Chains A and B, each alone.
Chain A
């Protein structure tokens, strides 16, 4: 009995305009409840929406970045339903004519292969407010600060076949919206949200199975877990002879399971009709060209460039272009080192390795790094010119991070310069050989493993500063006798 998983994702990304999509209220996060809700946001009698052009620009920017058709004439429609966090009793969205039509996003799978995920459409809409249930007894508090924040809803084709593919796609879209500077991608604050539509079917079947929609997943990790749980659940149901119910389910991160939403599901008849308070959005070739001119180098383009000009592997290029800032940091380091393929690889290892680890440990963004590109390149150039070994460099790195000094200053003050003087190394080797006659005899009689012992002892004797390559070479010679 083999099953195929089919996944489609709906992503809601908050656009980082300064004011809301249909009113002039600020969109800043974290203010006191209802301090950023104007009469328009509160749906007072007589108020009217006015479109924020920047939201349109950002949506078009996204569309161009995913190679999508931009709809010349798109229409806002009212999605009607009752809920206290929806002041008008309808959400202004786009239905039949979204601003962005069919596009696509290429993702790289674990095995390195590429897959194209279709984007069905992306449209503009307004966000609802928030319902707060804690600390109010039997009451629910409604905070309308968020009501009216612009969203772009990005709908994928059901092209993903595993939770891993879904996460890869999600991460790629996340990276892209941050590159485009249209969304800050903050999943904790809710500016980047994901709903997953999950179904299963027999391998080879051409009809899609009944899908369940999972909501409330606010991290990449949870997306993967939620989808895997749901797939297993659905397979269980079907193998037990049951039917999958088309419903909305919530992911519970504490229990690691999805649950059917308790509430009596509102009839999903939203009675969409074009909003008579807003004109159709007409974008012409000139407008599109002006937006296209503001597109930055996109992640795929930057990664391809790193592969072509710096000789990085696709994997490394992918990691280093996961954010525009990281890509810029890396590129500067490589440039300062001369941009040859050798230094590019070295820089890649360090940026993706030690630097990434340090940033992670201290919960910092690349832009907040305590070692900037110039100082890191300073450290790496001392490896390149053999002043220090890679191993010593790690210690220098930590000292640079902690003390804020340049590599040279630390190498100098701690006397960490590599020993490359053949005579000095030979002397140290002679010393160690003399002090360890037993091991020497054993080695010469065949115990090759003891080579490591001599390496270690000699390194210790030189305070770790012997050039490892030279040490190895000279040690081999001397041990051979």
Chain B
């Protein structure tokens, strides 16, 4: 059962080869067994998962089921789930039980999916290694000494280890794609505004986007449609129809023009990873695509631009965590200032504080023009670069990350080194374009991810292009040895 994709699980469930409760139980058992090793989950929702399973089975029986009924998933612990702790990987929200469901959670519950639990993540989505979580680091299922990537490390590790068939995640600078790459799974960050941010705890409001980490493009296509759509509670969600992503999967690729981002094949890219990427691109040529070099000259400015804009927005978004209404409050505060200082000082981890301070600085009087305003202008240049590129090609491809998974602790003391992990992914967030990462090979026995970007609202195209690759390769079906057994010890 653990090797089955979501699509296969759906077919077999409807063919009654097993029941929803059997499937859910088996996953809950795997989750429990894997937890000491992976630490992929912060909260396991066994009771409610079983209750949802029972309801799903009833729906399957009486014919009221939809295509996703009974299928299990995990939610990154950044999505508010009513009645369940929603921690965002932080001490600050360790005691926070959300009174409401995020729109994404609401929609997937309504579709009949079964929530297994909340996955571990970098604190407040700030990180590229899942080492900043209050709940401890997540370990890469391919090698427990290594990081799974971040900030959606828990979701990526859970899917890679097949302890959850699919998981929601979020991506602000690469937090879906980079862990997907490091864990050998498929990740998709939709167009900004495609998926509602209501109930998705905000890090950087103009960059955050909810998406999926899945075993395949086909699996992602099944769930993405149900997650997407205009939400009147999110003023930045876009009112444009949601296509049937599954229906678009099999469209022929012939004539596909793939742009290779010149700036991505630079000295920062590991040579073996580059070789792996170029091999994958040859597969696309075999499928009838043509490769074209494109230049996005402003793209190298992505990292500094992002590390001005994102901290600025986060410094404001995280101001609400003050110990007054919910969340962590320090013991016996002497006065208001003491309450604020100690609640925030004790509630937040180092990376979060670092970004809040950076953000406060770049917005402050005398610096706003030089930093924030300038960064937003550069952002427009990056946006224009993407727009122009998409007049020349259909999709852009390149590496997702400059290297494969690194050791836990290796970069923790050098924030800038850590930030450079996002060098290839950040541009898509700044421009709001959709982007995916699909596994395309191994280097030193560790997964490598191929990144695919498209124009705004081209999720269907991306999934179609990814699916074509996954039909002729099997990288996406590889499972780490330690987890490639039905029963985990």
Interface residues of A (CB under 8 A from B): 39, 42-51, 78, 80, 82, 84, 87-90, 142, 269, 271-273, 276-279
B235 touches A42 (CB 8 A): no
- Given A82-B319, A269-B364, A276-B313, answer yes or no on A45-B96 (Cβ-Cβ < 8 Å): yes
Bound: A276/B368 CA distance, A: 16
A271 touches B368 (CB 8 A): yes
Contact of B324 among A47, A48, A84, A272 (CB under 8 A): A84
B235 touches A50 (CB 8 A): yes
Contact of B198 among A47, A51, A78, A272 (CB under 8 A): A47
Residues of B within 8 A of A39 (CB): 99-100
- Given A43-B320, A87-B320, A276-B205, answer yes or no on A50-B363 (Cβ-Cβ < 8 Å): no
Interface residues of B in 353-372 (CB under 8 A from A): 360, 363-365, 368, 372
Residues of B within 8 A of A82 (CB): 319, 322, 340
Contact of B80 among A43, A45, A142, A277 (CB under 8 A): A45
Residues of B within 8 A of A276 (CB): 204-206, 236, 313
> Quick one: which of B80, B204, B232 has the most chain A CB within 10 A?
B80
Bound: A145/B299 CA distance, A: 46
Interface residues of B (CB under 8 A from A): 79-80, 86, 88, 93, 96, 98-100, 102, 197-202, 204-206, 232-236, 312-313, 315-316, 318-322, 324-327, 336, 340, 360, 363-365, 368, 372
Residues of A within 8 A of B79 (CB): 46
B319 touches A89 (CB 8 A): yes
> Quick one: which of A80, A271, A279 has the most chain B CB within 10 A?
A271
A273 touches B235 (CB 8 A): no
Interface of B is mostly: loop
B198 touches A45 (CB 8 A): no
A78 touches B236 (CB 8 A): no
Known: A50-B235, A278-B236. 12 other contacts (CB 8 A): A44-B100, A46-B79, A47-B198, A48-B197, A48-B235, A49-B235, A80-B315, A89-B320, A269-B364, A271-B365, A272-B363, A277-B235
Q: What is the distance, in angstroms, from A339's C-beta to the closest C-beta of chain B?
A: 52
Contact of A277 among B98, B205, B326 (CB under 8 A): B205
Nearest 3 pairs of A and B residues by beta carbon: A89-B319, A271-B363, A276-B206
A43 touches B205 (CB 8 A): no
> Which residue from chain B places its CB closest to the CB of A89 in the assembled complex?
B319
Contact of A45 among B86, B312, B315, B368 (CB under 8 A): B86
- Given A80-B316, A271-B364, A277-B235, answer yes or no on A46-B198 (Cβ-Cβ < 8 Å): yes
Contact of B363 among A80, A87, A89 (CB under 8 A): A80
> Which residue from chain B places its CB closest to the CB of A88 in the assembled complex?
B320
B325 touches A42 (CB 8 A): yes
Residues of B within 8 A of A80 (CB): 315-316, 319, 363
Bound: A88/B88 CA distance, A: 17
Q: What is the distance, in angstroms, from B99's C-beta to the closest C-beta of chain A?
A: 7
Residues of B within 8 A of A88 (CB): 319-320
Could you write out 27 A-B pairs with CB less than 8 Å apart?
A42-B325, A43-B320, A44-B325, A45-B80, A46-B79, A46-B80, A46-B86, A46-B200, A46-B202, A47-B199, A48-B233, A49-B235, A50-B234, A80-B363, A82-B322, A89-B318, A89-B322, A271-B360, A271-B363, A271-B364, A272-B363, A273-B316, A273-B372, A276-B313, A278-B235, A278-B236, A279-B235
B372 touches A90 (CB 8 A): no
Q: What is the distance, in angstroms, from A318's C-beta to the closest C-beta of chain B?
A: 44
Contact of A90 among B88, B99, B232, B319 (CB under 8 A): B319
> Quick one: which of A39, A51, A142 has the most chain B CB within 10 A?
A39
- Given A39-B100, A273-B372, A277-B205, answer yes or no on A46-B320 (Cβ-Cβ < 8 Å): no
